[in-house]
């Protein structure tokens, strides 16, 4: 993905993104998982491709995660859909007034996001949920293009985990936003304000909704709701 191009809109970007085969290790893993499957989903046809962002093209709030789950988004074809992390995130989005329902199990299940879009720095499921630095840098092509298209409307960003925090700030810096140096340290509930040509954008940190965090009690649904509500208010979303 060495040559950067401008996309007309998110629909065009997403259509190109799901055909990407730029990272051999990720391609091999996502397709292996799609063939071998988990026993509980043995009768399902896995997506097994890059997973595009979800949500309206004029979103005012953006959520940036890490990467699709092997048996979640890599199975369903929709970010955070069909896994335990998504159960927590969509429940919190619903309670914050940003989603039409508190769960998401499959494409076509009626889920609608309000003024909110969800994306990730890496769009393919990585082995052990750990993309390499090279894979992150290669996939930054897509995050750069997506943030560029969303720039006219997005006014706040919630990053889920330190990986998303760093990727988001670096990408906005490349897009001409003034980002504090050194990069602000990630933490749950921290925030930093970016500026470009008189416009302001606030970035909020939130622990990732991984099972490692939610099963141990390090992160609760209520904690996610608090960050989402503050970010929605910052973005001027009335129902947040």
Position 43 scores a pLDDT of 96
Asked if the model's pLDDT at residue 172 lies above 60, the reply is: yes
205-217 per-position pLDDT tens digit: 999 999 999 999 9
Q: How far apart are CA 55 and CA 71, in angstroms?
A: 21
99-121 per-position pLDDT tens digit: 999 999 999 999 999 999 999 99
Question: What are the backbone dihedrals phi and psi of residue 103, each rounded to the nearest 5 degrees, phi first?
Answer: -150, 160
Position 96 scores a pLDDT of 98
- Residues contacting 61, CB < 8 A, separation 6+: 98, 115, 116, 117, 154, 155, 156, 157, 158, 228, 231, 232, 235, 237, 240
Which pTM was predicted?
0.96
- Residues contacting 70, CB < 8 A, separation 6+: 29, 30, 33, 125
Question: What does pLDDT average to over the chain?
Answer: 96
Average of per-residue pLDDT across 15-23: 98
Residue 167 pLDDT level (bands cut at 50, 70, 90): very high
Taking the CA atoms of residue 126, residue 132, residue 133 and residue 136 in that order, the dihedral angle to the nearest 10 degrees is -10
Position 3 scores a pLDDT of 59
Asked if the model's pLDDT at residue 2 lies above 80, the reply is: no
Average of per-residue pLDDT across 33-58: 97
Q: Looking at the structure, give the CATH architecture of the domain made up of residues 10-235.
A: 3-Layer(aba) Sandwich (3.40)
Average of per-residue pLDDT across 182-209: 96
Position 6 scores a pLDDT of 85
Q: Provide the percentage of residues in the chain whose pLDDT is more than 70.
A: 98
Q: Provide the percentage of residues in the chain whose pLDDT is more than 90.
A: 95
Q: Name the 3-class secondary structure at 76.
A: helix
52-96 per-position pLDDT tens digit: 999 999 999 999 999 999 999 999 999 999 999 999 999 999 999
Residue in the structure block whose two tokens are 């129902």: 239
Average of per-residue pLDDT across 133-145: 96
Is residue 99 within 8 Å of residue 110, measured between CB atoms? no
Pairing between strand 116-119 and 199-206? unpaired
Position 144 scores a pLDDT of 97
Position 239 scores a pLDDT of 64
Residue 191 pLDDT level (bands cut at 50, 70, 90): very high
Asked if the model's pLDDT at residue 240 lies above 60, the reply is: no
> Please, what's the largest Cα pairwise distance for the chain?
53
């Amino acid at each position: 993905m060495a040559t950067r191009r401008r996309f007309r809109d998110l629909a065009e970007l997403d259509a190109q993104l799901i055909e990407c085969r730029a990272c051999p290790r990720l391609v091999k893993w996502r397709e292996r998982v799609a063939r071998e499957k988990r026993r509980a989903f043995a009768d399902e046809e896995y997506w097994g491709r890059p997973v595009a962002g979800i949500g309206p093209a004029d979103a005012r709030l953006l959520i940036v995660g890490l990467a699709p789950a092997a048996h979640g988004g890599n199975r369903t074809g929709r970010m955070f859909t069909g896994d335990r992390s998504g159960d927590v995130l969509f429940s919190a989005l619903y309670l914050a007034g940003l989603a039409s329902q508190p769960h998401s199990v499959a494409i076509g299940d009626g889920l609608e996001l309000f003024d909110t879009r969800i994306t990730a720095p890496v769009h393919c499921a990585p082995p052990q949920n750990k993309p390499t630095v090279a894979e992150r840098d290669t996939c930054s092509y897509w995050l750069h293009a997506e943030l560029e298209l969303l720039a006219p409307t997005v006014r706040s960003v919630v990053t889920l985990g330190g990986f998303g925090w760093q990727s988001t700030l670096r990408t906005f810096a490349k897009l001409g936003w003034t980002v504090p140096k050194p990069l602000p340290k990630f933490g749950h509930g921290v925030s930093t304000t970016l500026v470009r040509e008189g416009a302001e954008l606030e970035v909020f940190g939130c622990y990732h909704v991984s099972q490692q965090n939610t099963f141990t009690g390090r992160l609760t649904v209520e904690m996610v709701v608090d960050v989402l509500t503050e970010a929605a208010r910052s973005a001027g979303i009335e129902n947040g």
